Structures are given as structure tokens and as C-alpha cells.
Amino acid sequence: MSEREVADYGFAHNTPLDKQKIKVGATATADGNVPLAYDALSGRTADLATAQQNMARLCRLLERHGCPLHEVLVIGDRGTLNDELAVTYDRKQLKYLAGLQPQKPAHRDLLIDVPEVQFYAHPLTTAEGTQADYFGLPCMITFTHESKTVTHRGLIVLSGPMRRAVRQGRARQLHDLRAALTAVRAKNLS
């Protein structure tokens, strides 16, 4: 496949939208980040669209080298987890660590069912053992795909920095809205 066939406009969080890009799907070892398998993908390719293909390639590679799949830990972002993928991880006996984009009502409910104050009794710590500004509550998450249901352990995380950023953004928006309303009121009174 030539560069011309894969270079395309698409979303990448760290590049401008008006630039063509090529995405690389890579599998690397945890000890040394040695690339084991890779693929050049269109710049328009969504992460979630490649997860099944990457998982299949990884499983074939590991099986060829005699690595038991149940000893593997796949680490990904929220673009590597949905119901179909969770069922596949389970079927292939792969352990995984990934964020979940809560698109289903049941997954969104996990986020709103627990009062914020309950998180504060469960601080998360850094690798050095110091308390971070994050809190986490364990939960069970159910995934269903093609009439197969699996339940996996999860962790609902409350991020102090993100919470502050959202609150500050909301306060800015309210300030700007009040200023706009004050301007409208002043214009109507004159």
C-alpha cells in the first residue's frame, strides 16, 4: 500500500484537521517498547474501527510464539473498549485495561449513581505511594454483544484536575452569559 493510498484527512488530537496524516497501528512489548507488529492506516481511520483487527493480529502473533493469551495484558484508551470488544477480550481470555466511553445508558448510569462525596473515602495513590488528586470506586460493568453477556471489573475514577477544569469552564460560561444578559438589559432600558 502506497503513502498516497493511506494519507488522508482525519482527526488526530495533536495535528491540524487541514493536514493529511497516516495513522500507525502498533503492538509493542512492555519491557522496552519493542515494536512487534504494525500497520499503516488511513488518516481517516477511527481507533475503534481497528481494535478488532489489531487484537486478532496480536493473538496470531502471540500464538505463533507460544505465548499463552491468558497471561497477556492489553492496554488501550477508551477507543479500544465497547461491548463487542469486551466480549472478544473475554472469549480470547485476554486481560485488558482500557477506559470506557459511556455511550450506553447502563454505562452512563455508573457515573451518576454514586454521589461524589463517596469517592473521597477512596483516594488513588501514585506508584511512589503518595496520594494523587484522583479517587476511584470499584464496580462491575456488564457488556452484551450478539446475545453474549459478560461482566468485568471496573473502576470509576473521579479526577480532581478534570473536575476543577470543568467547574472553572462552567463558571466562565456563566460569567459570560451574565455579562451578555446585562448588555441586553441595558440595551432594552435605553
**Segment 141-155, tens digit of pLDDT:** 999 999 999 999 999
Q: Are 67 and 40 members of one domain?
A: no
Range of the structural domain that residue 24 is part of: 1-45
Q: What is the separation of C-alpha 57 from the centre of its chain, rounded to a whole number of angstroms?
A: 21
Region 45-73 average pLDDT: 82
Q: Which of 154, 152, 151 is nearest to 136 (CA)?
A: 154
CA distance 71 to 30: 13
* 3-state DSSP assignment of residue 42: strand
Does the residue 91 lie in any domain? yes
Sheet of 123-125: strand order equals 123-125, 131-145, 148-159
Q: Is residue 117 part of a domain?
A: no
pLDDT at 147: 95
What does the mean pLDDT of the chain come to? 84
- Can you tell me whether residue 22 is helix, strand or coil? strand
The per-residue pLDDT for range 79-122, each reduced to its tens digit, is 778 999 999 999 999 999 999 988 899 999 988 888 888 988 89
Same domain, residue pair 78 and 93: yes
Weakest mean pLDDT among 7-16, 44-53, 96-105, 114-123: 7-16
Spatial separation of the C-alpha atoms in residues 74 and 144, rounded to whole Å: 20
Looking at residue 47, its pLDDT comes to 66
33 and 66 in a single domain? The answer is no
Cα–Cα dist 23/44, whole Å: 8
Per-residue model confidence (pLDDT) at position 48: 67
Q: 37 and 61 share a domain? A: no
**Cell numbers that stand for 188 in this block:** 432594552
Q: Are residues 54 and 39 in the same domain?
A: no
Residue 177 located in a structural domain: no
Report d(CA 145, CA 87) in Å as an integer: 7
Among the ranges 71-75, 132-136, 161-165, 168-172, which has the highest mean pLDDT value?
Answer: 168-172
pLDDT at residue 166, rounded to an integer: 86
Distance CA 94, CA 68 (A): 9
In a domain, 90, yes or no: yes
Which of 2-11, 32-41, 69-78, 120-129 is predicted least confidently?
2-11
| Spatial distance between the Cα atoms of 5 and 1, rounded to a whole number of angstroms | 6
Q: Could you give the number of structural domains in the chain?
A: 2
Q: How much is the pTM?
A: 0.68
On whether both 8 and 18 belong to a single domain, the answer is yes
Q: Residue 190: inside a domain, yes or no?
A: no
